[in-house]
């Protein structure tokens, strides 16, 4: 059985004071014995402090992005080795906001995925279609293209060290989550696509759902057979919501 995971993507939110208050509340509420993995993804500048703060707690820390290059003259960028150096273990690659606002294409995302692994980080690879693509019946075509770029460049074996997140763009920050059936259909498609190249890895890879996950809808989403937890944006900034989502993931195990 795959161990559920709940990942909190803070996006460009937080401050030293707000992070400290949120982490204190989470530490009080999260139960270390729950059979799930929990991680938070703060903005770069807070990573070291959040790692220090969570030392000894069973909550992982990841970054929201990583440079595709290992180091050098790339002003403004952060290398995977630096993320490891400050204690991160995970990194999101290919979030739709990076794809959309910073024009990251499938090839760049595939390189970032490889850079994360080379630095010893677990990539959380985001895939997802826009509303227009869904309405045009293109969902599987888009997901396959995004996934295949990573598989072609890095090889299917790398998926054994990675996590996939299905995040329909139309569901992110909109309050309109995919229905459990819609999510399950795409998760099963992703799993099949990986399994076509390696059945064991396809069966084992964790696929998180992201897009307006809340305490109120987490249990039904996580009850689907191929949904292994959530990548949570807005609700990860509210301790009680995030805690309830983690509880739903634990109950789904």
Residues in contact with ligand PGA by CB under 6 A are 9, 167, 172-173, 210-213, 231-235
Q: Residue 32 or residue 173: which is nearer to ligand PGA going by CB?
A: 173
95, 97, 129, 184: the catalytic one is 95
- The residues with which 209 forms a beta bridge, in sequence order, are 166, 230
Least CB distance from residue 59 to ligand PGA, whole Å? 17
97, 167, 184, 241: the catalytic one is 167
CB contact at 8 A, 152 and 114: no
Least CB distance from residue 7 to ligand PGA, whole Å? 8
Q: Residue 156 or residue 208: which is nearer to ligand PGA going by CB?
A: 208
Least CB distance from residue 173 to ligand PGA, whole Å? 4
Q: Residue 98 or residue 111: which is nearer to ligand PGA going by CB?
A: 98
Q: Which residue is nearest to ligand PGA (CB)?
A: 233
Give yes or no: 95 in active site.
yes
- The residues with which 123 forms a beta bridge, in sequence order, are 91
CB contact at 8 A, 70 and 120: no
Sequence-distant (6+) residues with CB within 8 A of 38 are 5, 6, 7, 8, 30, 58, 59, 60, 246
Q: Residue 178 or residue 201: which is nearer to ligand PGA going by CB?
A: 178
Sign of the dihedral defined by the CA atoms of residues 4, 175, 126, 51, in that order: negative
Least CB distance from residue 218 to ligand PGA, whole Å? 11
Give yes or no: 167 in active site.
yes
CA distance 231 to 161: 17
Q: Residues 188, 189, 193, 198: what is their CA dihedral angle, to the nearest 10 degrees?
A: 10
Catalytic residue annotation: 95, 167
């Amino acid at each position: 059985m795959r161990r559920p995971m709940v990942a909190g993507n803070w996006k460009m939110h937080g401050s030293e004071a707000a992070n400290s208050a949120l982490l204190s509340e989470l530490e009080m509420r999260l139960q270390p014995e729950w059979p799930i993995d929990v991680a938070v993804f703060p903005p770069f500048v807070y990573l070291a402090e959040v790692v220090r703060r969570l030392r000894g707690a069973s909550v992982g820390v990841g970054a929201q992005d990583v440079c595709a290059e290992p180091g050098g003259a790339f002003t403004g960028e952060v290398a995977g080795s630096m993320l490891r150096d400050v204690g991160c273990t995970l990194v999101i690659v290919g979030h739709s906001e990076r794809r959309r606002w910073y024009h990251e294409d499938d090839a760049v995302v595939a390189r970032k995925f490889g850079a994360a692994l080379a630095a010893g980080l677990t990539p959380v690879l985001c895939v997802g279609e826009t509303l227009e693509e869904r309405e045009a019946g293109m969902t599987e075509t888009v997901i396959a293209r995004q996934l295949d770029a990573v598989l072609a460049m890095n090889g299917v074996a790398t998926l054994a060290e990675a996590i996939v997140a299905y995040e329909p763009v139309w569901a992110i920050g909109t309050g309109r989550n995919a229905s459990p059936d819609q999510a399950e259909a795409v998760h099963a498609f992703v799993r099949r696509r990986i399994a076509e190249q390696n059945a064991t890895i396809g069966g084992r890879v964790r696929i998180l759902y992201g897009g307006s996950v809340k305490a109120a809808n987490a249990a039904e989403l996580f009850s689907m057979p191929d949904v292994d937890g959530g990548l949570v944006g807005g609700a990860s900034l509210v301790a009680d919501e995030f805690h309830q989502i983690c509880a739903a993931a634990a109950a789904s195990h």
